[in-house]
Amino acid sequence: MDARLPAHLEVSALIRAAEAAGGFGMVIQKGERDAGTILVVLLENGRDGRAYERMPQMDGTRAWTCSKREEMADSRAFSEYVQRRAGQDPDLWVIELDTARPERLIGIGA
């Protein structure tokens, strides 16, 4: 069985990690305190948005996967995607982390 950190603790840790790296983190939408899922919006200097969510893998684990990238030609589509995901799942936490190389905060490209 996969031991899971309560969502509110993981969200707090991610925001603190962004701040410790000289960046900024904030909660966009609060989800279910313990068992909620998390959508992380990663930015660098307020640009180049990437939305990451944990997706089930073939081996039964859940890995951070980029579900949407902001396209410069249509940045509205990225915002609409994040809003749509938030509206689909009331248990979903949506957080934004803005720092240099933000993927390292979720263990990607560290």
d(CA 35, CA 45): 31
Q: Provide the residue type at 96 as one letter.
A: E
- Residues whose CB is less than 8 angstroms from the CB of residue 58 and which lie 6 or more positions away in sequence, other chains included: none
Residue 1 binned pLDDT confidence (cut-offs 50, 70, 90): very low
Query: What was the pLDDT predicted at 23?
Result: 97
pLDDT mean over 90-110: 92
| Backbone angles phi and psi of 61, in degrees to 5 | -85, 175
Q: Which domains does the chain have, with CATH numbers?
A: 28-102 (3.40.1530.20)
Query: What was the pLDDT predicted at 2?
Result: 57
- Structural contact between residues 98 and 23, judged by C-beta atoms closer than 8 angstroms: yes
Q: Residue 38 gets which letter from DSSP? A: E
Please write the tens of the pLDDT for every residue from 14-67: 999 999 999 999 999 999 999 899 999 999 999 999 999 998 889 988 899 999
Threshold 0.85, pTM exceeds: yes
d(CA 49, CA 54): 17
- Structural contact between residues 70 and 50, judged by C-beta atoms closer than 8 angstroms: yes
